[in-house]
């Protein structure tokens, strides 16, 4: 049996994933940078998102399920007054409005985003 490519390294890398890069691309770059034989990440960040992407190498990949069960938090920026066909900045603007929610309306809506939530990503148009 031939030697597997890469070095046997074990451990975690906590990568601050940049905007515009997929999580899988970040994983590929990290794996090549460390010449790692085995690597995996503990979740996917949208290419538009920046943030911490835990990457496991070697034996540490066995602990990835424990990271998935961890508490996650998100920070975001809102642009009021537009609606796009993809519900994000990459979509085509379909509606515009000069109306803005009041602080009380925002506070009332936040309760819908607290607790255990089954996240459903918006559909991406063809």
Q: Catalytic: 88?
A: no
Q: How far apart are CA 17 and CA 121, in angstroms?
A: 20
Q: Which of 35, 46, 69, 116 is catalytic?
A: 46
Q: How far apart are CA 70 and CA 77, in angstroms?
A: 24
List active site positions.
Answer: 46
């Amino acid at each position: 049996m031939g030697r597997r490519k890469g070095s046997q390294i074990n451990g975690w890398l906590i990568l601050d994933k940049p905007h515009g890069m997929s999580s899988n691309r970040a994983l590929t770059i990290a794996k090549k940078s460390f010449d790692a034989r085995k690597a995996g990440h503990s979740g996917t960040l949208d290419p538009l998102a920046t943030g911490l992407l835990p990457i496991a190498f070697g034996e540490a990949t066995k602990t990835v399920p424990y990271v998935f069960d961890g508490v996650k938090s998100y920070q975001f920026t809102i642009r009021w007054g537009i609606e796009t066909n993809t519900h994000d900045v990459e979509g085509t603007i379909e509606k515009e409005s000069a109306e803005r929610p009041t602080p009380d309306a925002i506070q009332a809506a936040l309760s819908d985003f607290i607790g255990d939530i089954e996240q459903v990503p918006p559909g991406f148009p063809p």
